[in-house]
Chain A
Amino acid sequence: MKILVCVSKTPDTTAKISFNADNTEFQSAGVQYIMNPYDEWYALVRALELKETLGGTVTLINVGTADDEQVIRKGLAIGGDDAVRIDAAPKSALFVAKQISAHAKSAGYDLIMLGKETIDYNGSEVGAMVAEYMDMPYVSYATKLDIAGSTATLMRDIEGGEEEIEVDLPFVLSAAKGMAEQRIPNMRGIMMAKSKPIQVIPAVPFEDLSVVTSYELPKAKSGVKLVQPENMDELVRLLHEEAKVI
């Protein structure tokens, strides 16, 4: 069983988000980065569990600059065997998918896993794009994955219920909450990760199809308004004129 897990670097969930003066770029100064939790807690940990029961290897792949190696090392500290870093800033989902598939095409993976989305741009696009480039089946938002022989059984959340899917290997899947439990690397794992190989390869040439013109922060939420129970007229007025829900 040869598994590829795609991991990306995202700002920590407590990071303050701001943009440059013309709102075209994220301000990264002073921001703490983590491995995208969907990649880490669900895709990577389930991949490691499969390796532990079925044998095989778990390779991490990251499209990013040398700054991303701390995130890759964490994946190796949790239990990944080796890693590939495509040496380029991840400009867009299509760019990332192109780079991942360019590596994976000739590497013979049985399974390619990633999180259902990254917590920064929330695109949920890379998985489907990788599957398309690889000409493989794709299962999105999977919450459960079991493998018997060359067939995988998956559960995925759908509107109002769940769907059970069977698919033959190899395929691509995006993992959602429920797939696995968070694993925290221990100090021995961190030390062992130091000697695990990270192969750095150049990006393949690729012309992007879209550019970001600007970013905008959501409007700050206004505070809670308290209305006394006897003041029904005021409540109705606020619901009608301010909240505009009645």
Chain B
Amino acid sequence: MQSNTSNIQKSAREDRYQHHDYYGIDELLSEEHLLAREATRQWVKSEVSPIIEAYADRAECPTHLFKGLAEIGAYGPSLPAKYGCGGMDEIAYGIIMSELERGDSGIRSMASVQGSLVMYPIYKYGSEEQRMKYLPKLASGELIGCFGLTEPDYGSNPSDMITNIKDDGDAYILNGAKMWITNSPVADIAVVWAKDEAGIIRGLIVERGMKGFTAPEIHGKWSLRASITGELVFEDVRVPKSNLLPNVQGLKGPLGCLSKARYGIAWGAIGAALDCYDSALRYSQERIQFGKPIGGFQLTQKKLAEMITEITKAQLLAWRLGTLANNGKATPAQISMAKRNNVHMALEIAREARQIHGGMGITNEYPVMRHMMNLETVLTYEGTHDIHLLITGMDVTGFNAFK
């Protein structure tokens, strides 16, 4: 792959990350999994690590990386090769997400929105014509997509959405607004969920340039600063009927996509946790206080030992979930459990790692505070920490406690 980023200023600071596999989980992985990991890690080390602190500092999305993510095959890697995708299994997809998030949760978000929330619904719910029209261009990064479900007044409760479509001959008239949409200001297409006149949720592919469609950027985020986030605003947008996703009706459409994305996040968060642990472990071996490395003190060891224990548990959870997903057996509730557990685990590790780094931990000389701030978003997007708990609660008791 030729580097197309020669005009991008790169930091000379070295990414010294080394993989941590305390329980020999690599032995459960195939050659293609290990290669996918190596390739993604190599790409992150050469393209993401040298620039990410500067972009996060400026709250700017490194949009040149959209193309690079396409070149390594990070968009829809588990969708069929026929559509320009990787044709890999779900564990490979998870591993790619983990390696990307090892670099930055925002970079992982760029890829997981494109793959799980745009390409997956077109593949799963679209017509063959829609698949052939959009998927190869989305896989190659020629088109960038976003996903519109959440609204300003409807987050955890999407079924009460007010965005709607009305039949108008050969088109639908779309009205409403979506909020917190990753990639929206730079997206060429948006997969949008709206209610029809019967109150049934339907999915549509809305294209940039359609009259009445705008995507203003949301500013002022202290988290996912290298990822671009915006709104989707629809004022009497005429969307051709051929852009309706024909094969799904109701909330199960968007929730099916979210399951796919949450699955990727369950893996992705492990990457952020590993990067924090890796940095903290190295710092604890190099930082001398009271005449010895701080890693020699019991309280530092407690932190590090608990970190690698939690990471190992999360890795096993993700691996088992991946095995279930490969056999088409992973339930939404199982995915909720892994997303909730692993993101919370990563956020706690980021906080502990920050303490080990002392004052250095709050600077962008080290990646931990950036990961910590990113994970605050990951904790509540794609289903909040609390809602996922209630999904598990409902699954085991049979009672719905969130409405």
Contacts and interface: CB of A to CB of B under 8 A. Distances in A.
B32 A191 contact: yes
A122 to B, nearest CB: 20
Given A191-B81, A191-B86, A185 B17 contact: no
B35 to A, nearest CB: 5
B92 A186 contact: no
A191 B18 contact: no
Contact of B88 (A32, A34, A191): A191
Interface in A62-114: 69-70, 73-74, 77
Given A32-B18, A70-B35, A186 B73 contact: yes
A193 B73 CA distance: 15
Interface residues of B, number: 29
Given A181-B3, A184-B1, A185-B39, A190 B32 contact: yes
B387 interface: no
B306 interface: no
Contacts, number: 73
Given A73-B31, A77-B35, A190-B35, A14 B17 contact: yes
Contacts of B17: 14
Contact of B72 (A12, A182, A186): A186
A180 to B, nearest CB: 10
B35 A184 contact: no
B7 interface: no
Contacts of A12: 18
A187 B77 CA distance: 7
Given A14-B17, A32-B18, A77-B35, A184 B86 contact: no
Contact of B31 (A69, A185, A188): A69
Interface residues of A, number: 23
Nearest to A185: B39
B35 A181 contact: no
B40 to A, nearest CB: 8
Contacts of A74: 35, 38-39
B34 interface: yes
A138 B247 CA distance: 63
Interface string B57-94: 00000000000000111100100010001111000100
B36 interface: yes
A188 B39 contact: no
A70 B34 contact: yes
A46 B194 CA distance: 52
Given A186-B86, A190-B39, 9 more contacts: A14-B16, A181-B2, A182-B42, A183-B1, A186-B71, A188-B86, A189-B73, A191-B32, A191-B86
